Chains A and B, each alone.
Chain A
Amino acid sequence: AQSVTQLGSHVSVSEGALVLLRCNYSSSVPPYLFWYVQYPNQGLQLLLKYTSAATLVKGINGFEAEFKKSETSFHLTKPSAHMSDAAEYFCAVSEGGDTGFQKLVFGTGTRLLVSP
């Protein structure tokens, strides 16, 4: 069964600093991987997704993530944090390929705190 592990329930950065949120996955088949963002009192919003095309995936708001099969990782990065990036971020995985519908499995989330 697929699973994801997000290292660090909280990450604090200063405005303008690099953002790095870690996600490692476990899957017996090639996975599809997703990052979602949740702003306070809102639902989850898709940030970016990897579906076996390019390993470096660019998303909204300047975020990107790189799929590294050898490390079973899909870390989320942004070169320069902005105050508006403060939110909770969720990594999710599902089975890839043409196997029909596969539900997403979410990680426990990482809360990003951005200080001035």
Chain B
Amino acid sequence: DAGVIQSPRHEVTEMGQEVTLRCKPISGHDYLFWYRQTMMRGLELLIYFNNNVPIDDSGMPEDRFSAKMPNASFSTLKIQPSEPRDSAVYFCASSEDRGPTNYGYTFGSGTRLTVV
């Protein structure tokens, strides 16, 4: 298995532009998570899905952020409009349905977003 695949690896955009981050989870994993990592705030859980359904989006910072999972093999995190304070590394992770806490999460390599 190729693991959790995220694209792009790096994204530089201007303030006000729309940014879309993509994630392909491991086949057969029923949970998908989006995290944001910054020096100031560490790892923050933004949202997670179970069987393509958003379960908890309480970590989404504001309405500029939205996430979708149209099918079991694809998810997007969109920021519109983007702001410099959104600059961070965004990670996607997936986990199996049966006792996900027993198996741990598998993380992608992340997308480093820079908003100028």
Contact = CB atoms under 8 A, between A and B. Distances in A.
Interface of A: 32, 34, 36, 41-46, 49, 51, 90, 94-96, 101-104, 106-109
A43 B42 contact: no
Interface of B: 4, 31, 33, 42-43, 45, 48, 50, 56, 91, 93, 100-102, 104-110
Contacts of A101: 31, 50, 100-101
B91 A44 contact: yes
Nearest to A106: B43
A111 to B, nearest CB: 11
A104 B101 contact: yes
- Binding site secondary structure of chain B: strand
Contact of B107 (A34, A43, A107): A43
A51 B109 contact: no
Given A43-B91, A103-B56, A90 B4 contact: no
User: 8 tightest CB-CB pairs across the interface, nearest first?
Assistant: A43-B107, A46-B104, A44-B107, A94-B101, A106-B43, A108-B42, A32-B101, A43-B109
A43 B31 contact: no
A104 B31 contact: no
B101 A102 contact: yes
Nearest to B4: A43
A43 B104 CA distance: 13
Contacts of B48: 103
B40 to A, nearest CB: 10
A51 to B, nearest CB: 5
